[in-house]
Amino acid sequence: MTAEEKKVIFASSLGTVFEWYDFYLYGSLAAIIAKQFFSGLDAGSAFIFALLAFAAGFIVRPFGAIVFGRLGDMIGRKYTFLVTILIMGLSTFIVGVLPTYASIGVAAPIILIGLRLLQGLALGGEYGGAATYVAEHAPHGKRGAYTAWIQTTATLGLFLSLMVILGTRTAIGEAAFADWGWRIPFIVSIALLAISVWIRLSMNESPAFQKMKAEGKTSKAPLTESFGQWKNLKIVILALVGLTAGQAVVWYSGQFYALFFLTQALKVDGATANILVALSLVIGTPFFIVFGSLSDKIGRKPIIMAGCLLAAITYFPVFGALTKAANPDLAAAQAKNKVVVTADPGECSFQFNPTGTVKFTSSCDIAKQVLAGASVSYENAEAAAGTPATIKIGETVITGYSSKGLSGDEAKKKDGEFKKSVADALKAAGYPTKADPKKVDTFMVTLILTYLVILVTMVYGPIAAMLVELFPTRIRYTSMSLPYHIGNGWFGGLLPTTAFAIVAQTGNMYNGLWYPIIIAAATFVIGTLFVKETKDVDIYARD
């Protein structure tokens, strides 16, 4: 690797690390942001709505891919880089100084979601540019190894966000961090923005793009060429359903969903969960380079497909093992004293209340709301129509109530009595209110999390090289960016929100895993049957 090639990889990767750091701060602080910006809602809806705001940044990523991909193919990779980093950095900084719901009311979450949308647009133009830029500098036969460094940036950005959060938490204490200290990681990002802009100004344009521009071969209508011609559109579709959709759900399951699962379902304290996830990232991250380099030798496709298959087969037992290692008291209570909600299905609602205006009054809804608030996994059983819901915890049966028609004071009194009865029964059955730090098997948790990260490196390490090799230079930025960001923005980014909604509806804390398992399995089948290997493609021959 020459000095110039090292500079290209370093400059591209460092700027992209900072951009991912900005983007993932929000995800790492979702629980605190829920309390700061969605405090007008009940706790369950506030967290789901905070995840939706997190997901908003992912929803618009394909639109960013279209806008900035078009610019990247028409005016160049370098200047598109500069625009995306500026939008991302400034949006992140503003989140750090944004007044909360308590200060300005509903305007706070509206502005927050607007800033997340800007971040998503910027990220939609970032990744495709970075991957294209590095790949077009890489010698033939080493694109997997070179672009694998770009693949590390999302994980390193997440790692950096966790480290800054942990350092701030440790320095000022949990209470101060929850109150105002959470702003510090957002505010310091302005320094990272300055470094990123300086680095990107020093970069030269990609030689492939320079050559194409000098020959007058740049695309005048990259969107039309990419998506208006079937010969290219069918490759875009295959890249989505046969590669990036499965890659995305494995990525977000192994890193973000695992973090949320530890803190929300298993009730491990935030600092411990962040440390364990960060440790697994340190151990697992080198495997991006390992699998990227290996893909230059044996091919991209077999490694990506193997990662999807392993994820689909092992997620249920792996997350079950994670429960036993992180919160053995909870695992023991679930095995010994199952919780069963018996209710008339006709009075059970889908309890998503983003506006805070819907009142759930049926005995079924109230029973499930209480259990969800306590993060208790339960099974559902059907009762005769018109009968009140019951909660069975071990051998204890608690009859629910309907608040319909009750006065405010009566409903409040009933609610307090019901919650106390449930809490007492859960305590007697051995259900912990939080994970006991002394009983967390840190070695086993780290081992499990590292396995999940290694699956991430299998599907993610070779993906950039493969996407670059699928499309010609003149429309590469646009063509590869869209399937990547639909896959990672929609299928992957919506994973935490979708999974937790499934859990909230079904009551079983493992049922959210069906979403990544089904997507990963579908990608394995489609990719194996229809996607062609690309490692020996000459990326310039098609131009």
Structure confidence by residue, pLDDT tens digits, 270-304: 889 988 988 998 899 899 999 999 999 999 999 99
Which among 183, 162, 249, 156 is positioned nearest to 497, based on CA atoms? 249
Which among 123, 133, 117 is positioned nearest to 200, based on CA atoms? 133
Burial 150-162 (b: 16+ CB within 10 A, else e): bbbbbbbbbbbbb
Provide the residue ranges of all domains of the chain, joining segments of one domain with +. Answer: 3-327+436-530, 332-428
What confidence tier does 355 reach under pLDDT thresholds 50, 70, 90? very low
Choose between 215 and 95: higher pLDDT.
95
Length of the chain: 543
How far is it, in rounded angstroms, from Cα 326 to Cα 329?
A: 9
> What DSSP designation does 438 have?
G
- Please state which of the ranges 75-89, 341-355, 436-450 shows the lowest mean pLDDT: 341-355
Give the per-residue pLDDT at 525. 97
Degrees, nearest 5: CA angle 301-305-311: 155
Sheet holding 379-382, edge to edge: 379-382, 339-343, 390-393, 396-399
Residue 444: pLDDT above 80?
yes
**CATH number, domain 332-428:** 3.40.30
**Bridge partners, 484 (sequence order):** none
Q: Percent of the chain having pLDDT more than 70?
A: 94
Pull the structure tokens for residue 533.
């290997």
Same topology for domains 3-327+436-530 and 332-428, yes or no? Answer: no
Question: Which one is the CATH code of 3-327+436-530: 1.10.260.40, 1.20.1250.20, 1.10.340.30, 1.10.390.10?
Answer: 1.20.1250.20
Residue 19 neighbours by CB under 8 Å, 6+ apart: 84, 85, 88, 89, 122, 123, 126, 153, 157, 196
What confidence tier does 409 reach under pLDDT thresholds 50, 70, 90? confident
Quickly list DSSP for 123-186: HHHHHHHHHHHHHTTSPTT-HHHHHHHHHHHHHHHHHHHHHHHHHHHHHH-HHHIIIIITHHHH
**For residue range 455-484, what is the model confidence (pLDDT) as tens digits?**
999 999 999 899 989 888 778 878 888 898
Give the per-residue pLDDT at 543. 53
Residue 75: pLDDT above 90?
no
Task: Read off the pLDDT of each residue in 436-458 and give the average, rounded to a whole number.
Answer: 95
When mean pLDDT is compared over 331-340, 415-424, 430-439, 448-457, the highest value belongs to: 448-457
